[in-house]
Amino acid sequence: MKLEAWIAWKLLFSRKTFLGGSAFLSLIGLCLGVASLVASMAVMSGFERTLREAMSDVRGHVQVIQRSRAGAEDWRLLENRIKDLEPELVAATRFFQVEGLFVHQGKISGTVLMAVDADRRDQVMNLKNRLKDGEVSTAPDGDTPGVMIGMGLAKRHSLKAGDRIRVVVPISDGYDPERFRRKVGTFIVRGVLDLGKNDWNERFLLGDLKPVQDLAEVGDRHLGLLLKFQDAERARASAFHLSQALGASYYVADWRELNQNLFEAVRLERVVIFFVVFIIVLVAAFNVTSTLFVNVLRRTDDIALMKALGLNRKSLLRIFSAQGIVIGCAGFVGGTLLGLVLCEGFEFLQSHFQVMSGAVYKVDNVRASVRGIDLLAIWFATVMVCFLATLAPAWRAARLNPTEGLRNV
């Protein structure tokens, strides 16, 4: 076996084959195909990771909402029940949100004002890494409550930390539910956040629970609890368990379920893109086949000598098949390195020129993420294609009659 590997190496990396032939061009084509696969899979994985981090950082891992306010359970008792059911619960906080109009210097836009318990916010949310300006705080300035806003909203209205804004919310008439009156609340901007999702950055305000409840005139009501667990990947199993245990009176959803359609689209697109881009690798594999066919025809004398010296058909099959595997592995290594360079280039273009519009793709900034499982799949597919591509020329070499080659020796 060592002799066959040595012969395969010598035949491939010789002046006739690699340096003087078309094997080098075949290798370049293979590298380009692998690089395209690595970059495309990294972008799709990065998109999914960006969306996942945005959901878990801003909305927690799981939301628990009581469907009916009649006979509502005290939230502290509910938190204790959840803790008993799921011991991996790290923290929980009440949340409330109301839609309204954002008003600043004559400009109006729709907004979502969300509020949580200030003393529990940092235990459930991860906002420190998302801060762009100011501080992660909703502390009041005198009688004016503080809020944090999305960076898209701040950019559109030229806002920064310390500015005062007004929010108009509709208040339902107690006698006629079809009639509303407006109420204006004044807030001071404490921080500007990159919330990960484009629609959040364009509309989102985050404040303390009590001031927002007072503005909406809902008393001490809240929508439900935001939960954080030790492992975000186990949130789906935890949400399913809680949904069964708490019963139909509670709506329980994890971070993935809240964007189920988007995550499913990413999963399907990853498979489609893999096979579409894999066509480049298939084309490169045909080039490998043609290269090895030419190599067999040019080395009939060498093959004849090897058969005359005692190498059988299986040995020749292994020698020429090994060449295809070597080209496949070399193409994978070179393509992976080139793919990493392409990922860096994509991140540069995305950060400076916004090549993926947040209005279309739902996220404002995508960081490429190279996953080990993707690299393993690309390596396996590349090597297998190259191996299969070498079977025809290897079989041709194995069937060569020694007398045909010895005539020209």
* pLDDT tens per residue, range 170-216: 887 766 667 788 889 999 999 999 998 888 999 999 999 999 999 99
pLDDT band at 116 (very low <50, low <70, confident <90, very high): very high
pLDDT band at 72 (very low <50, low <70, confident <90, very high): low
Distance of alpha carbon 380 from alpha carbon 382, whole angstroms: 6
Q: Nearest CA to 243 among 252, 235, 230?
A: 252
Beta strands in 117-163 (DSSP E): 131-134, 146-150
Distance of alpha carbon 224 from alpha carbon 375, whole angstroms: 41
Cβ proximity of 62 and 248 under 8 Å: no
Distance of alpha carbon 202 from alpha carbon 153, whole angstroms: 5
Cβ proximity of 222 and 228 under 8 Å: no
Beta strands in 194-343 (DSSP E): 204-208, 224-229, 250-254
**Residue 261: per-residue pLDDT:** 84
* CB atoms near residue 302 (< 10 Å): 19
Cβ proximity of 235 and 63 under 8 Å: no
- Residue % of the chain over a pLDDT of 70: 83
**Residue 258: per-residue pLDDT:** 84
- Residue % of the chain over a pLDDT of 90: 43
- What's the chain's average pLDDT? 84
Phi, psi (deg, nearest 5) at residue 118: -60, -35
**pLDDT of 14 higher than 70:** no
Q: Nearest CA to 222 among 318, 116, 311?
A: 116
Residues 6+ apart with CB under 8 A from 69: 221
Which of 31 and 363 is assigned the larger pLDDT? 31
Highest mean pLDDT among 27-31, 98-102, 146-150: 146-150
**Residue 88: per-residue pLDDT:** 92
**pLDDT of 407 higher than 60:** no
pLDDT band at 19 (very low <50, low <70, confident <90, very high): very low
pLDDT band at 374 (very low <50, low <70, confident <90, very high): very high
**Residue 105: per-residue pLDDT:** 81
Question: Would you list the DSSP string of 215-236?
Answer: HHT-TT---EEEEEES-GGGHH
Q: Report which DSSP code applies to 130.
A: G
Q: Poorest-confidence range of 32-41, 70-79, 311-320, 327-336?
A: 311-320
Q: Nearest CA to 84 among 219, 224, 242, 203?
A: 242
Mean pLDDT of 124-151: 93
**pLDDT of 138 higher than 50:** yes
Reduced to 3 states (helix: H, G, I; strand: E, B; else coil), residue 409 is coil
Element (H, E) at 37: helix 23-59
